[in-house]
Chains A and B, each alone.
Chain A
Amino acid sequence: DAMVIQNPRYQVTQFGKPVTLSCSQTLNHNVMYWYQQKSSQAPKLLFHYYDKDFNNEADTPDNFQSRRPNTSFCFLDIRSPGLGDAAMYLCATSPGRGPAYEQYFGPGTRLTVT
């Protein structure tokens, strides 16, 4: 089945220790998104890619970076995680960019910062 895969599902890191979360997709979608979701809150968009065109949300902290080496893979790098970065990180894909396209979400990576 075509899908969005995130690894790992659970990640524990220490305060200030860099961490990378990964996302892969077999849907061959042009658009990939990274969201941060804290407990009982809405998903908050961090970045999105349209092909290799990178779009950073204005309020995404500089501590967060992303890479998309090819259509299938996307990475979220947190350079110096703080306690406030503990959250669920969701990757999503979409066949196009714009209001008419639905998003397909991966299962998420739950990040714990100790």
Chain B
Amino acid sequence: QQPVQSPQAVILREGEDAVINCSSSKALYSVHWYRQKHGEAPVFLMILLKGGEQKGHEKISASFNEKKQQSSLYLTASQLSYSGTYFCGTNRGSGNTPLVFGKGTRLSVIA
């Protein structure tokens, strides 16, 4: 089942902060975050696993609330380079089920 992302789009000025949310109606085992710039491939940002383990980008933070079945990606002091579409991908089990990606959140950072 596809996770739901919010907001769909956001415009920020450089230096402002943003939060992107990803939620599911089903229990989650992991949440992945990727950023895709226009015309380019998605780039891995972070994985959050049930139980609190994380791996990923040093400059980006995220949270995973297992009980609420949701994750949030925190972008602080945004830079122009943060612009792009952010996708969360969720995995419902510890086994080999593939990721299901949300529809994405388009972030535009302006000077």
User: Which residues of A are at the interface with B, using a C-beta cutoff of 8 A?
Assistant: 4, 33, 40-45, 48, 50, 55, 57, 90, 97-108
Contacts and interface: CB of A to CB of B under 8 A. Distances in A.
Interface in B16-47: 29-30, 32, 34, 40-44, 47
Contact of B96 (A44, A50, A103): A50
Contacts of B44: 102-104
A42 B30 contact: no
Given A99-B29, A99-B91, A45 B98 contact: yes
Contacts, number: 63
Nearest to A110: B39
Given A99-B91, A100-B47, A105-B42, A33 B30 contact: no
Interface of B: 2, 29-30, 32, 34, 40-44, 47, 49, 53, 55-56, 87, 91, 93-104
Nearest to B102: A42
Given A33-B98, A99-B94, A43 B29 contact: no
Contact of A106 (B30, B34, B41, B96): B41
Sorted from nearest, which 9 A-B pairs have the closest CB atoms?
A99-B30, A105-B41, A42-B101, A99-B91, A102-B44, A97-B96, A105-B42, A107-B41, A99-B29
Given A41-B103, A45-B98, A102 B32 contact: yes
Contacts of B47: 99-102
A21 to B, nearest CB: 14
A114 to B, nearest CB: 21
Nearest to A44: B101
